[in-house]
Amino acid sequence: MVQIHKKFNNDQVKDLLRQYLEQKIERKYLQQILGIKKRRFFQLVKKFKNDPEGFSIYYSCNKPTRKISKDLEENIIQELQMERSLIENPNTPVKHYNYSYYNYSYIKDILEQDYRQKVSLPTIIDRAKQNNCYSPRAKRKAHDREVLTNYPGELIQHDSSHHQFSPYAADL
C-alpha cells in the first residue's frame, strides 16, 4: 500500500470524499482508488466531515526519526571501548571469539541499569561497527575429525587453564 499523500493531493481526496458523501461513488470502489483499507477510509471520512475546509492528508513529523541523543551515543561508545579492551586482553579467553560473538545485550543492559537510557540492540551493533569494535565472524575450519588423544580411552583434564576467565579475578 502506498501512502495517500504520495499519490493524491488534498483537493483530489476532498473531491472523492465529497462524491462518496453525496452517494455518487461506492465505498469499495473509492477504497480501491485510494489504495486504503476500510478502517483508514472511515477515519478519513470522519476527519473530512468534522472539518471539510481544514481537511488535509498531509502530516508533519514532530521529531526526527532514527536519531539518538549525543550523551547516549557517547555512553555506547564508552562501554564498547571498555569491553573491547577486555576482549583484546591476552589473559581473557574471549579473544578467540571475535567481536561478533560478543553479547551486545550486555551493553544494552548496562545502559539501561547504569545510565537509565534505552537503545535498541541493532543500534549498539551499528555503533560497534562504526567505531572499530566489531569484526565479522571468521570462517570456521571444517571439522577434520582430528584425534586429540594419544591413546584410546585417555582422559584429558580440560578445566585446568592459565587464563583469567574474569579480568577482575586477580582483584579477589
Q: What is the pLDDT of residue 172?
A: 54
Instruction: Decide if 93 contacts 169 (C-beta within 8 A).
Output: no
Q: What is the pLDDT of residue 20?
A: 96
10-21 vs 38-50: helix axis angle to the nearest 10?
90
User: 28, 29, 25, 110: which is closest to 76 by C-alpha?
Assistant: 110
- For the chain (172 residues), the mean pLDDT of every run of 10, in chain order, is 83 95 95 94 95 88 82 94 80 54 85 94 92 74 68 60 62 58
Residues 116, 119, 2: CA angle, nearest 5 degrees: 140
Q: How do the domains of the chain map onto residue ranges?
A: 4-50, 63-139
- Set of cell numbers at residue 19: 462524491
Q: What is the pLDDT of residue 97?
A: 47
Q: How far apart are CA 1 and CA 17, in angstroms?
A: 19
Q: What is the pLDDT of residue 99?
A: 44
- Set of cell numbers at residue 58: 498531509
Q: Which residues contact 38 (CB under 8 A, 6 or more apart)?
A: 27, 31
